[in-house]
Amino acid sequence: MAHENLTRKLHIAQKKGVCVATIQFNGTEVAGTGAVYVSLPERVVIQRITSNVLTAGAATSTVDIIANSLTLVNELAVSSAGVTDETVIDAARYLVTGGEITITDGANPPGAALDAEVYIEYIEVDKHTGEYTEFLNSVA
């Protein structure tokens, strides 16, 4: 019996799950060229990046979030405590080869006092939950 791809067939499709990479970092770690925090798998689509600043950095301080050499978020403000609702992603959201996520100083380094978290929501294109969604035929 031949292999049959059931990713999508007729009126059913495999469900995809949203994954979240949580990165905790501080001002000392991101100083200079920063640090690599997580490696995303191949073929991912980044949906959203949210930040939670627990202890603020210096006034007007920022960090950059980079995947490989692509800047995903440029000048993320970390000068006041709190959660950002959603951060705009500056670069391409689809990473064919995956990528190492690095957080570095922005134009105004945050200083050692910074304590923050970043949540990267993404979908792995080749991974599914094992469930299927049935699409109803809208044509009568």
Distances (CA, A) of 140 to 10, 13, 108, 134: 16, 21, 60, 17
* Neighbour tally for 127: CB within 10 Å: 14
pLDDT at position 56: 93
Burial environment of residue 7 by CB neighbours within 10 A (0 to 12, 13 to 18, 19 or more): exposed
| Length of the chain (residues) | 140
pLDDT at position 3: 47
Number of alpha carbons in the 13 Å side-chain half-sphere of residue 120? 26
Domain limits, the chain:
8-134
pLDDT at position 8: 58
Task: Provide DSSP, 67-83.
Answer: ETTEEEEEEEE-SS-EE
- What are the residues facing 83 on neighbouring strands? 52
pLDDT at position 7: 60
CA dihedral 81, 84, 90, 94 (to 10 degrees): 120
pLDDT per residue rounded down to tens, the chain (140 residues): 554 555 656 677 788 889 999 999 999 999 988 989 999 999 999 988 999 999 999 999 999 999 988 888 989 999 999 998 767 676 678 899 988 999 999 999 999 999 999 999 999 988 888 888 887 765 54
pLDDT at position 138: 54
pLDDT at position 134: 80
pTM of the predicted structure, to 2 decimals: 0.81
